[in-house]
Chain A
Amino acid sequence: MENHSARYSQAAVRPAGPLARRYAVFVRVRLAILGLLALFLVVAFTLDVFTGPAALSPISVINGLLHPENLPGPVRYILFNVRLPYAIMAVLVGASLGLAGAEMQTVLNNSLASPFTLGVSAAATLGASLVLVFGLASIGLPQEVIMPASAFALAAMAAMLIHFLAQTRTNGADGVVLFGIALVFAINSVVALLQFVADADTLQQIVFWGMGSFSRSTWPKIAIVAAVLVIAFPISLRNVWKLTALRAGDAQAESLGIDTNRLRRNVMLRASLLAAVAVSFVGTIGFVGLVGPHIARLLLGEDHRFFLPGAALAGALILSLASVASKTIIPGLIIPVGIVTSIVGVPLFLSLLMTRDRRI
């Protein structure tokens, strides 16, 4: 009995100082980690701009960026129409996918949720393939516009389907991810059917689209992806407390007066918009939306004030590094970056899953 009360009172006395001050240390560490992630991203971005099949020295790249008027025409073209758009697109798409994955994982309460595993990316591929095969250019819009629009429409439909299923929740949270996997298989078989009926040229385009690449990056596309991210991110930040409260449990969040169904619907809409816009311009890029949030969760925990920016930064960092790798693995050749993220993503994801059991 005495032992017992000694244990309890000891436990109750041990920590000294106000909790707020001790918690502030947590906050400072997390801000420092966010700062480090941002720093790494800057380094990765710089590397990304410096590397490429055209052997430009770092000094000539820096000079070219500072004084573009002095550059010879071809070099200026490479710098401003290839290197920079590639590198910026990598950052934007990575951040979009990381943020989308993080929010999906929170509202579906499943760390396997991501635009890729839930079939949002596959649906975007289907949308693009439909346009490529049936050439919907007859409605009078250029393919440049129709293809992303169609990819987006199907991606959004997939996201709504998943949301509907999550809402009925007869199968629990795992059911949603299983449904996502089923959706991926179903969509892939339709894409395969389209590939079968497509002519050789179209087939090549579909396959290449599915691989995910920055080679289609142009400044207007970058502006659209950036605009969606700039609009979506502050809305995400406005919901950080609700999302954090949701992590403690659905019933808990509801008891706080949070309309969890509405929150879920809005987040799924926003996340699928982010993911769909990103993949509709660059094609399928897997695992970034899955691994980015995992890294952020390990480093920063699940206070969404830090988790969401962290997931966006981690996603951007991964994709920037993948872009560098896609240009350096085979010298003189740019491998589609989606292949790199898949090759690197699977082992990275598995190792994160294993460390998670120890750390969390």
Chain B
Amino acid sequence: MSGLIVRHLSAGYSKRQVIRDLSLPAVPAGTLLGLLGPNASGKSTLLRAIAGQGRSSGQIELNDEDLNLLSHAKRATLVGYLPQSLPGTTSLVAYEAVMAACRAVQPNFREATVEDAIESTFDDLGIRHLALERMSHLSGGQRQMVGLAQVLVRRPQLLLLDEPTSALDLRWQLSVISAVRRMLEKSRAVGVIAIHDINLAIRTCDQLAVLDRGEIIASGLAANVITPEVIARAYGVSSRVETCSRGIPFVLADGTLG
């Protein structure tokens, strides 16, 4: 099938295994899977493992291609991974940072191709006005947008985003997610996004998976996944799941448990 399949994945560091024998629901092309879970539940490790970073074993297939069989460089052309850390404050202007990301991965692209890709990426994200600013003059949220542009500019078939909205205000959170969704639909790519805001995830992801201590404790459609029991188990908080005026569930956290 076209899409992402992750089965029996184990990953971690040399001394500590973070996730063991983990399987994700199949993610069809053009859709977005949201990864929820408390801090240190293994979301970042999972994304890094799919991106091919760190030690891991298991089955990772993208559009029927086994990613583990690909070279580092070839995998980087297919997979766009946005790390959780923000891009650094350098004297590079945003345009250069994005161009370098494109050139370092795709050295054979023609100049015009690269220029077009950069242009449309800045437009898609609505950050055209930042293109010629030095990274050191940008705010954390703005640098996060540039970091995302570095990933999107390469038009990857698999997008792995580790909390791309952590430094963003409300408006930019929504515009980032909708830019990602547009790109997924346009290029029939697969997206996996680690995200802390449960309500944002419910509204914007096609499927959700909840991680707790390296295990998937619930996965599938939001309505089936998001229950007070799952939230209590993952986050240790008591909560209510209600329905908003548009019929979409939303979560109200009431207090910590135990």
Contact = CB atoms under 8 A, between A and B. Distances in A.
A249 interface: yes
B92 A244 contact: yes
A247 B96 CA distance: 11
A302 B101 contact: no
State the main secondary structure of chain A at its contact with B: helix
B119 A256 contact: no
Given A256-B105, A301-B93, A360-B134, A241 B76 contact: no
B73 A19 contact: no
Contacts of B213: none
Given A22-B132, A241-B103, A244-B92, A252 B87 contact: yes
A8 to B, nearest CB: 7
Q: How large is the interface on A (under 10, 10 to 19, 20 to 34, 35 or more residues)?
A: 20 to 34
Interface string B74-106: 011100111111111011110111001101110
B75 A23 contact: no
A26 interface: yes
Nearest to A301: B91
B76 A301 contact: no
Contact of A257 (B73, B147, B150): B73
B101 A360 contact: no
B115 interface: yes
Contact of B87 (A26, A249, A302): A249
Contact of B91 (A11, A241, A258, A360): A360
B92 A301 contact: yes
A248 B129 contact: no
A257 B132 contact: no
A255 B83 contact: yes
Nearest to A255: B81
Contact of A302 (B92, B115, B118, B132): B92
B122 interface: yes
Interface in A175-228: none
Q: How large is the interface on B (under 10, 10 to 19, 20 to 34, 35 or more residues)?
A: 35 or more
State the main secondary structure of chain B at its contact with A: helix
A251 B119 CA distance: 24
A20 B83 contact: no
Nearest to A258: B104
Contact of B101 (A8, A11, A252): A252
8 contacts: A8-B126, A19-B132, A20-B118, A23-B93, A249-B83, A255-B53, A255-B83, A302-B90
A321 B5 CA distance: 63
Q: Which 4 interchain pairs have the tightest Cβ spacing? A: A257-B76, A251-B83, A244-B100, A20-B115
Nearest to A254: B53
B136 A360 contact: yes
A15 interface: yes
Interface in A239-286: 241-242, 244-245, 247-249, 251-259
A248 B94 CA distance: 10
Nearest to A252: B87
Given A8-B171, A15-B128, A241 B107 contact: yes
Nearest to B76: A257
Interface string B108-150: 0000000100110010001011011011100000000001001
Contacts of B95: 19, 23, 26
Contacts of B82: 255
A67 interface: no
B129 A11 contact: yes
A109 B107 CA distance: 24
Given A241-B103, A248-B92, A301-B92, A256 B87 contact: no
